[in-house]
Amino acid sequence: MISFYLANIDSDGTGEICFWGRNIFMGFLNMEDKTREALDEDGWLHSGDLGKIDEEGFLYITGRIKELIITAGGENIPPVPIEEAVKKELPIISNAMLIGDKRKFLSMLLTLKCCTNAETMEPTEELSLEAVEFCQLQRSQATKVSDISGGKDKEVYRAIQEGIERVNSAATSNAQRIQKWTILMKDFSVSGGELGPTMKLRRPVVLEMYHKVIEGLYQE
C-alpha cells in the first residue's frame, strides 16, 4: 500500500506530492546527495510533481515544481492548469505557454492549429479545419495564420480575448490572471525544437527562441 501527502501546500491547496511505502525505492546506489534530494529523513519520496486533493479525496497532478512560475510578487503559479484551460476554452489554439517568472503580471504565447506538411511533418501556415470552423463562427474568412496575427482579424482576436477572460474569471487571485497574449506565426513542433519527443513543451527553448516577443509584451 502506498501512502501520500502534499508538502508545502500553498493558499490554493497545491503542494508537492510525496509518497511512502514498502515499494518506494531506498535511494540511489552510491549517490548519497541525490538520495537526500529525493527522500527526506522520514523516508518520504518527494516526487517533484505538484498536485491538489479534491473534496472527495482524489489526487490530481497539476504540474512540475521545476515548471512553477514565481511572479515578482512572490506568488507561485503552476502554468499547466491555466494553459490547459485556455486550450479547452478556445478550440483554435494548438499550444499555449504561460509567461510570468519574476514578472509583474502573466502573459501568454499562443499558437493556432495548423495543417502539417506530410513530408517534413512541419506545421504550415494553413489553418486546420477545426481552426477554420472557429473563424467562420466569428464571421471571419481567415484560412492562414497571417490572416489573423498582428491583430489583422479583429473578430478572431475578440473571440480569443473573450475566451481568455472566461479563463481569468476562474482565477483565485489577480496574480493568476492573464494580462497580455500574442499569437505566434508558427505552431510548436518536435522538429522546430519547441516540443520534446513526447510532445512535451520545452519551456527553456521557447523562452530563448521568443525572447524578443516576450520582452515586447512587458514593455509599457
What pLDDT is attached to residue 11?
74
> Distance of CA 104 to CAs 19, 85, 130, 153, 217, Å?
35, 22, 35, 29, 11
What pLDDT is attached to residue 78?
87
Q: What is the pLDDT confidence band of residue 36, given thresholds at 50, 70 and 90?
A: confident
Specify the higher pLDDT residue, 57 or 146: 146
* pLDDT(41) > 80: yes
- Closest to 148 in 3D by CA, of 117, 184, 115: 184
What pLDDT is attached to residue 94?
98
Q: Please tell me the distance from the alpha carbon of residue 115 to that of residue 186, in angstroms, as a whole number.
A: 11
Q: In this prediction, what percent of the chain has a pLDDT beyond 70?
A: 100
Question: What's the one-letter identity of residue 155?
Answer: E
Cell (9 digits) for 176 = 493568476
Place of cell 502506498: 2
Q: Edge to edge, what strands does the sheet with 3-7 contain?
A: 3-7, 15-20, 45-53, 59-64
What pLDDT is attached to residue 67?
80
Mean pLDDT, residues 59-82 taken together: 86
- Provide the mean pLDDT of the chain: 92
In eight-state DSSP terms, residue 165 is H
Specify the higher pLDDT residue, 12 or 100: 100
Q: What is the pLDDT confidence band of residue 42, given thresholds at 50, 70 and 90?
A: confident
- Closest to 173 in 3D by CA, of 6, 7, 10: 10
Q: Please tell me the distance from the alpha carbon of residue 134 to that of residue 131, in angstroms, as a whole number.
A: 5
Mean pLDDT, residues 132-154 taken together: 96
What pLDDT is attached to residue 172?
83
Specify the higher pLDDT residue, 113 or 6: 113
Mean pLDDT, residues 18-22 taken together: 88
**CA geometry: angle at 15 spanning 101 and 110, to 5°?**
40
Contact 87, 79 (CB under 8 A): no
Q: What is the pLDDT confidence band of residue 220, given thresholds at 50, 70 and 90?
A: low
Cell (9 digits) for 101 = 517568472
Domains, in order of start, for the chain: 2-65 (2.30.38.10), 69-218 (3.30.300.30)
Angle between helices 154-168 and 129-137 (to 10 degrees): 90
Question: What's the one-letter identity of residue 107?
Answer: S
